[in-house]
Structure 1
Amino acid sequence: MQATLWIPQIFLKHLWELRGSGMNLKRKINYSILVICLVIAILVLVEMGWEQGFTWAAIAVLVGLIHVVLPEGSGVLYMEEETSPLLYEMRIPEGTATELSLLNEEGEPLAAWDIYGKNGIVIGRDTGENSVTVDLNNTTYASMIDVEHAVLNYFNGAWYIEDISTKNGVSIKKSDGKKYKISYGKPCRLELGDIIFIGPTRLQIL
């Protein structure tokens, strides 16, 4: 009987210590469950004796330990979920293009399309009867853009653009500041920062 009187005192003391600790709420709850399970285990041993109560006491202790040890062991899963955007960025090799950005006359971005992980992209205008990846139907110079104006293909770690238009063509402004018109049907390799002219509409690969 004496043992059953001081066990709740230990439990209350533990909760008070946890209240003032720097643990987060989840860890506090897990440790509190462990303490409760230990109290139950001790009570079982006191009331039932060692031989009869050992199995039930062991189960109670095991349940408590699972609540403490398992979250620690599975912490990597929680960390991966919380930091997945950072891990996503870390997995992207340096110098890899990840998006096409639509630029206005001042070179400011208006819209962007994600290209990371894709193998092929069609640039043009979505008229409802076709499917394009980069839809320029609502841009200022949409009337000067073909329904399927250009295609981008990812090959051997690089993006290549090919002009498939019937009017206005495709040009590229390179890092040297010069603008180069690409030949129809002949793939041209793109580099990060290149500005693609789909007619007069500008897209930058980033």
Structure 2
Amino acid sequence: MPSSPASSPQPPHAREALSRERVVAAAVAIADADGLAAVTMRRVAADLHCEAMSLYHHVPSKDALLAALADEALRQVAEAAAHVTDPTWDVAVRRRCLAARDVMLRHPWAPGLVAAQTTSPPSVWPVYEQLVGTLADAGFDDDLAHRAIHALGSMLLGFSRELFEPEGDDLTPDPTTTAHVDEHLPNLARMAASVVHETDGALSVCDTRAEFEFTLDLILGGLDRHRLARSTA
């Protein structure tokens, strides 16, 4: 009697149960490939080979999905920072900020999304906890450690934010604006003409790695001066 034909294997997506982790991972992959605007419930469902309504069992809304994306980016930052140690406090903090920046460069959509959150994503707290522990071990009192968190700001998370960030890829200045600057703001015009922004490690026009490191070193140097002053007071 001939044996019955073997059933054809199911595709991986049919065997793997849908979960919040899979939904978020799919959304991250879409944002990395095509930008945050491409992240829709329909697109995520299509990539997971399921119906869009199925996603709502794991993320209740599009806003919840975006919040989960921000939290996932910060989870990766916390994970990267957790592996960075150094006996010198400022070297440790500097290396953690640069490790966080590497995460943001992998996910260039993340800085804007993280900055747009109105509540602190849960994954950010281990980053602050590690920082305060490092500062305490270096002799910072709680007041100066608190000031350090604010001084470092988003640099702990691997990016810095311009107050007025240009939108889009076309950064060519408007000729009318340029003429106004040349005539009425000569110092700014001269500086703009002489300074060339780097492109390596750039998350935005002014948030380049060189700018990031320059600002970071200024902050760390200032904090160390305050630490030493308080320790000898």
TM-score normalised by L of structure 2:
0.22
Which structure is higher in RCO with an 8 Å CA cutoff and minimum separation 6? Answer: 2
Q: Comparing both structures, which one devotes a greater share of its residues to strand?
A: 1
**Structure having the higher Rg:** 1
